[in-house]
Chain A
Amino acid sequence: MTDTLTPVLTDNWDAERAWTLASYEERGGYAALDKAFAMAPDDVIAAVKESGLRGRGGAGFPTGMKWGFIPQDNPKPKYLVVNADESEPGTCKDIPLMMASPHTLVEGVIVSSYAIRANTAFIYVRGEVLHVIRRLQRAVQEAYLAGHLGKNIHGSGYDLDLIVHAGAGAYICGEETALLEGLEGRRGQPRLRPPFPAVAGLYASPTVINNVESIASVPSIIVNGPAWFAGMGTEKSNGFGIFSLSGHVANPGQYEAPLGITLRELIDLAGGMREGHELKFWTPGGSSTPLLTPEHLDVPLDFEAVGAAGSMLGTRALQLFDETTCVVRAVLRWTEFYKHESCGKCTPCREGTWWLTQTLARLEKGQGSEADLDLLLDQCDNILGRSFCALGDGATSPISSSIQYFRDEYLAHLTHGGCPFDPAASTTFPSLSDTAAGATA
């Protein structure tokens, strides 16, 4: 029986100066390199396939399969790009990973680049995390000096350069083709697919784009073996993942567990919901994944079961809200986010998110009528599946799911002539904020 929590990626985060090369190597870090270099690149790909690792950036695409799509007969250079843009609301796992143990990611980059035969790799990290960027820059510098990067790594004949690239503020640049535009020095607007990045990505060359956590998981698979990884988790969702609990729970934070753990188990570990309160709604994997309710507490958090429950595992960004939270306010705020972050390339999303905010804002103020709920669902229909990229689809998730589960709460805004909730009650400082609450009411 596997333990309830299985720290692998988080295992060294409590080590003294965990971010340094010395600390990382003392615990066996960079051991995956020689093991991988002793294998043929295709065998590294095969091992990752066999492990069952699926992308940790949201969509869950099998990582080894993605690497296998790189046309090795294409004479152009191959590139690995790590998606470290982490901006999906609720998602907060890659940033602490890179802060505490940037070398885990760097080691993963080296093994992964070797597998796909890339000699240049990039970490595209969102710009708004200064200290994380410092730690990445330092880790890369240390890795070069130690001969883990650069020419003829460990005498293997394999060369790799790694560039840390800071973004400049744009949620859409987490979308992989928009990210490539950003990395080419352009406005971050998604590209038409096909061609897929595996064939024509960065500089129109074959490119693999993977999430931080996906790449950081690779060294452990190489060192411990694919069967070890596949032995954790559920049948089709193998391995472990970092589950990020935030919101009205006693001890929010990062919990690394096999896929398939339930929210009930996680809340138990986190000391329960905050004292005297109960769970009302939650996101399983960020704001773009449809809301769930307490009736879903026992859904195994893997790709299949969360999908069957009508949502998506996404990035395991579990944002928990208790009964003091107004769902309409929550959904309106997320919708304003999508409107703000819409890149403007396609009409359904650009215009649609604007209309959604208008309609929602009216409802939140207690204006409008019940017919506006159908209008909202109609507007969602016109966006979902008709947008150029998944940002537009994601924008509809909180709205349609909240109407499904909390229709009455929308109506209560109409009968109440505004929001029936006290915004101070949902804060972490409910007693302090009596006067401040007056200012916003």
Chain B
Amino acid sequence: MSLDQKTRDELREIAARYPEARSGLLPMLHLVQSVEGRVTPEGIEACAEVLGISAAEVNGVATFYTMYKRKPVGDYHVGVCTNTLCAVMGGDLIFERLKDHLEVGNDETTEDGTITLEHIECNAACDYAPVMMVNWEFMDNQTPESAVQVVDDLRAGNEVHSTRGPRLCTWREAERVLAGFPDDRADEGPAAGPASLAGLRIAREKGWTAPAGESKGESK
């Protein structure tokens, strides 16, 4: 089935944001995933048509980047960081436990279509290790037990919040934001988690600041 008119219009809208249309391809593929649940041949065709390039070229790009999926992704993409630091701090054990619990292997989806499990690389949250991402939202400082709780809650349809962000949306909704269509939830969640503030807390306690600048009496 080919993509609907609204999606085609939005693909054009993305391409039009850039000085050269082809720069839109990465966000366009995110949009395809939000509509189709994965990168489909129809989605590739539509991108190729909008950009005036071949489907093979689009396909070459889609296969290069790990966030683009060929198989249908569940409502929730659960990524467990198993890069060295998180692995050592417990990420390996968390990943093993989730595989057992969900009865899936790496990059597989549960039979009910809710959870796709994958081990992922360092997600720039090492100070919150071991880290898990759900639909690319941070779930910080996990244990095997907490991780199991998260996936159980998601499967039961309970509301789950990122430890440093908003209530979790679905993977397709997340992909739409990545395509550059904001969902108006920027104001949910804190500015920073506790680890992000570790040094600042000490500076406040001790009264440490940067020196005063040239234009001000006091430092800022």
Whether A427 and B211, one on each chain, are in contact in the complex, defined by CB atoms closer than 8 angstroms, is: no
Closest residue of chain A to B91 (Cβ to Cβ) is A427
Q: How far is the CA of A168 from the CA of B74 in the complex (A)?
A: 18
Which of A11, A127, A440 contacts B67, CB < 8 Å?
A127
Q: How far is the CA of A133 from the CA of B189 in the complex (A)?
A: 14
Q: Smallest Cβ distance from B35 to chain A, in angstroms? A: 16
Please judge, given known A-B contacts A89-B122, A169-B65, A254-B127, whether A134 and B196 are in contact too, CB under 8 Å: no
Number of interface residues of B (CB under 8 A): 94
Which of B92, B200, B220 contacts A440, CB < 8 Å?
B92
A246 touches B (CB below 8 Å)? yes
Which of A6, A100, A120, A427 contacts B208, CB < 8 Å?
A6
Whether B182 and A255, one on each chain, are in contact in the complex, defined by CB atoms closer than 8 angstroms, is: no
* Interface 9-residue window, one of B2-10, B82-90, B104-112: B82-90
B25 touches A (CB below 8 Å)? yes
Whether A253 and B22, one on each chain, are in contact in the complex, defined by CB atoms closer than 8 angstroms, is: no
Whether A187 and B123, one on each chain, are in contact in the complex, defined by CB atoms closer than 8 angstroms, is: no
Residues of B within 8 Å of A169, CB to CB, are 65-68
Residues of A within 8 Å of B200, CB to CB, are 5, 7, 10-11, 13-14, 254, 256
Please judge, given known A-B contacts A13-B200, A130-B178, whether A428 and B64 are in contact too, CB under 8 Å: no
A86 touches B (CB below 8 Å)? yes
Whether A433 and B192, one on each chain, are in contact in the complex, defined by CB atoms closer than 8 angstroms, is: no
Please judge, given known A-B contacts A129-B124, A131-B138, A333-B84, whether A224 and B177 are in contact too, CB under 8 Å: no
Q: How far is the CA of A185 from the CA of B11 in the complex (A)?
A: 14
Q: Smallest Cβ distance from A20 to chain B, in angstroms? A: 8
Whether B26 and A166, one on each chain, are in contact in the complex, defined by CB atoms closer than 8 angstroms, is: yes
Q: How far is the CA of A16 from the CA of B181 in the complex (A)?
A: 26
Number of A-B residue pairs with CB-CB distance less than 8 Å in the complex they form? 325
Please judge, given known A-B contacts A137-B186, A169-B66, whether A28 and B192 are in contact too, CB under 8 Å: no
Whether A120 and B19, one on each chain, are in contact in the complex, defined by CB atoms closer than 8 angstroms, is: yes
Q: How far is the CA of A123 from the CA of B60 in the complex (A)?
A: 24
A383 touches B (CB below 8 Å)? no
A379 touches B (CB below 8 Å)? no
Bitwise interface map of A from 170 to 189 toward B, beta carbon under 8 Å scored 1, else 0: 11000000000011111110
Residues of B within 8 Å of A19, CB to CB, are 186-187, 191
Please report which residues of chain B, range 112-137, place their CB below 8 angstroms from some CB of chain A when the two chains form the complex: 120-130, 133, 135-137
Q: How far is the CA of A220 from the CA of B12 in the complex (A)?
A: 39
Whether A253 and B196, one on each chain, are in contact in the complex, defined by CB atoms closer than 8 angstroms, is: yes
A231 touches B (CB below 8 Å)? yes
Whether A341 and B121, one on each chain, are in contact in the complex, defined by CB atoms closer than 8 angstroms, is: yes
Residues of B within 8 Å of A253, CB to CB, are 127, 194-199
Please judge, given known A-B contacts A19-B186, A131-B166, A168-B67, whether A256 and B199 are in contact too, CB under 8 Å: yes
Bitwise interface map of A from 122 to 136 toward B, beta carbon under 8 Å scored 1, else 0: 000011111101110
Bitwise interface map of B from 33 to 73 toward A, beta carbon under 8 Å scored 1, else 0: 00000000000000000010000000011001111100000
Whether B211 and A231, one on each chain, are in contact in the complex, defined by CB atoms closer than 8 angstroms, is: yes
Which of A5, A133, A248, A254 contacts B178, CB < 8 Å?
A133
* Interface 9-residue window, one of A36-44, A91-99, A105-113: A91-99
Residues of A within 8 Å of B20, CB to CB, are 184, 203
Q: How far is the CA of A424 from the CA of B89 in the complex (A)?
A: 9
Whether A224 and B122, one on each chain, are in contact in the complex, defined by CB atoms closer than 8 angstroms, is: no
Residues of B within 8 Å of A135, CB to CB, are 186
A317 touches B (CB below 8 Å)? yes
Please judge, given known A-B contacts A99-B192, A131-B138, A252-B195, whether A168 and B89 are in contact too, CB under 8 Å: no
Q: Smallest Cβ distance from B26 to chain A, in angstroms? A: 5
Whether B65 and A255, one on each chain, are in contact in the complex, defined by CB atoms closer than 8 angstroms, is: no
Bitwise interface map of A from 262 to 301 toward B, beta carbon under 8 Å scored 1, else 0: 0000000110000000000000000100000000000000
Which of B61, B68, B127, B137 contacts A185, CB < 8 Å?
B61
Residues of B within 8 Å of A131, CB to CB, are 137-138, 162, 164-166, 186, 189
A4 touches B (CB below 8 Å)? yes
* Residue among A17, A18, A252, A440 facing the most chain B CB atoms (10 A cut-off): A252
Please report which residues of chain A, range 220-244, place their CB below 8 angstroms from some CB of chain B when the two chains form the complex: 220, 223-225, 227-228, 231-232, 240, 243-244
Which of B64, B126, B162 contacts A244, CB < 8 Å?
B126
A375 touches B (CB below 8 Å)? no
Whether A130 and B135, one on each chain, are in contact in the complex, defined by CB atoms closer than 8 angstroms, is: yes
Please judge, given known A-B contacts A128-B67, A130-B137, A166-B180, whether A14 and B220 are in contact too, CB under 8 Å: no
Q: How far is the CA of A141 from the CA of B220 in the complex (A)?
A: 26
Residues of B within 8 Å of A321, CB to CB, are 88
Q: How far is the CA of A245 from the CA of B195 in the complex (A)?
A: 9
Whether B209 and A7, one on each chain, are in contact in the complex, defined by CB atoms closer than 8 angstroms, is: yes
Closest residue of chain A to B145 (Cβ to Cβ) is A432
Q: Smallest Cβ distance from B209 to chain A, in angstroms? A: 6
Q: How far is the CA of A329 from the CA of B85 in the complex (A)?
A: 11
Closest 8 CB pairs of A and B: A224-B213, A253-B198, A185-B25, A255-B199, A168-B65, A169-B66, A3-B208, A246-B126
Known: A257-B199, A436-B93; 4 extra A-B contacts, CB below 8 A, are A89-B122, A128-B133, A168-B30, A187-B61
**A-B CB contact pairs (8 Å), 30 listed:** A5-B199, A6-B209, A7-B209, A8-B210, A11-B200, A11-B209, A14-B201, A27-B220, A86-B124, A90-B126, A91-B124, A99-B191, A127-B136, A134-B177, A164-B180, A168-B30, A168-B67, A187-B60, A188-B64, A203-B20, A252-B195, A253-B127, A253-B196, A269-B199, A319-B84, A325-B88, A428-B89, A433-B90, A436-B144, A439-B100
